[in-house]
């Protein structure tokens, strides 16, 4: 259905209809017809409608230009054999089918390969669907008032994060790339050194690094497991033993590399 008018779209039985292609051909938004709309228009249910004697305009996929096909007879549970475009019905031809694995490229002749992906952003041509009813117009160079042609553009932050995590993780949790990590450093406080851990966090912050400080009253193993799960690029562990040497332990999440860094130069270690 396009702007309240029913259109019949034809494809081969082993193909799938691409609604975006229909919308592009018609220059309008389209939606599937409701069962009651189909019955009212064709006098039959959706499984029995066809182009022969169609009461509405017919769009046909390019693959149907030649050959004879079985089509619905516009009567419930009735079909016609040998229907042929141009002889038994008239249609406007266009590319309407959804591409499939192995389809040939019309330009290079290569075969199409389909891979699963995450839609991170999208662009929709809204056309005049909203501008006409809302009277969003402009004056052209001749001073004639015309409706705006609108577009919608968006990037989904949640989907971007999901894609990053899918590509950067291990059995322990997330492994954030430093360029997109929510924080640069995860500071883990061991018992009895809360004040020194706060000082270390302040030093890192002063060096321009964003810091997540874990000063919970929890076991060290629990904190380390949570740090791996969250997956910030670097972990700084502040404990009594290392403080005796005037240092803290630094662990890189991506490589597991560990090193001991003097507190005095902690801000320069990243």
Distances (CA, A) of 230 to 84, 188, 197, 258, 266: 62, 12, 19, 18, 22
187 and 254 housed in the same domain: yes
Distance between CA atoms of residues 243 and 16, nearest Å: 66
Domain count, the chain: 3
190 and 235 housed in the same domain: yes
Residue 158 carries which DSSP code?
H
178 and 261 housed in the same domain: yes
E strands, 55-196, are 58-61, 69-72, 79-83, 92-94, 121-127, 137-139, 145-147, 150-155, 169-170, 173-174, 185-189
152 and 184 housed in the same domain: no
Q: Which tokens go with 105?
A: 């490229």
Identify the H or E element spanning 153.
Answer: strand 150-155
| CATH code of the domain covering residue 227 | 3.40.50.800
What pTM, to 2 d.p., does this model score?
A: 0.58
188 and 152 housed in the same domain: no
| pLDDT per residue as tens digits for the range 230-249 | 999 999 999 999 999 999 99
Dihedral of the CA atoms 3, 8, 13, 17 (nearest 10)?
A: -20
Distance between CA atoms of residues 189 and 197, nearest Å: 6
Percent helix, strand and coil across the chain, each to the nearest 5: 25, 30, 45
Structure confidence at residue 117 (pLDDT): 84
142 and 182 housed in the same domain: no
132 and 181 housed in the same domain: no
Contact 160, 120 (CB under 8 A): yes
Supply the range of the domain harboring residue 184: 174-268
| CATH code of the domain covering residue 66 | 3.90.960.10
Distance between CA atoms of residues 176 and 35, nearest Å: 49
Structure confidence at residue 255 (pLDDT): 96
Question: Does the structure show a pLDDT above 90 at 106?
Answer: no
135 and 183 housed in the same domain: no
Burial zone of 244 (CB within 10 Å; 0-12 exposed, 13-18 middle, 19+ buried): exposed
Structure confidence at residue 192 (pLDDT): 92
Percent of the chain whose predicted confidence (pLDDT) is above 70: 100
| pLDDT per residue as tens digits for the range 29-39 | 899 999 999 99
């Amino acid at each position: 259905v396009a702007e309240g008018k029913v259109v019949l779209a034809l494809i081969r039985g082993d193909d799938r209809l691409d609604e975006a292609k229909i919308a592009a051909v018609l220059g309008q938004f389209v939606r599937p017809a409701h069962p009651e709309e189909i019955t009212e228009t064709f006098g039959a249910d959706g499984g029995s409608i066809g182009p022969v004697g169609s009461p509405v305009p017919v769009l046909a996929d390019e693959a149907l230009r030649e050959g004879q096909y079985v089509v619905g007879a516009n009567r419930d549970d009735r079909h016609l054999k040998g229907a042929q475009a141009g002889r038994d019905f008239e249609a406007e031809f266009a590319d309407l089918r959804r591409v499939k694995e192995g389809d040939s490229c019309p330009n290079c002749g290569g075969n199409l390969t389909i891979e699963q992906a995450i839609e991170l952003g999208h662009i929709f041509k809204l056309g005049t669907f909203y501008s006409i009813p809302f009277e969003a117009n402009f004056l052209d160079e001749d001073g004639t008032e015309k409706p705006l042609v609108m577009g919608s553009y968006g990037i989904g932050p949640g989907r971007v994060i999901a894609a990053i995590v899918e590509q950067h993780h291990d059995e322990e949790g997330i492994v954030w790339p430093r360029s997109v990590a929510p924080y640069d450093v995860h500071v883990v406080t061991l018992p009895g050194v809360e004040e020194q851990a706060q000082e270390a966090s302040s030093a890192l912050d002063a060096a321009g690094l964003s810091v997540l400080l874990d000063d919970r009253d929890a076991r060290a193993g629990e904190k380390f497991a949570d740090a791996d799960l969250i997956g910030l690029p670097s972990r700084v562990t502040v404990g009594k033993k290392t403080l005796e040497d005037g240092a803290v332990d630094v662990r890189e999440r991506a490589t597991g590399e560990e090193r001991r860094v003097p507190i005095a130069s902690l801000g320069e270690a990243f």
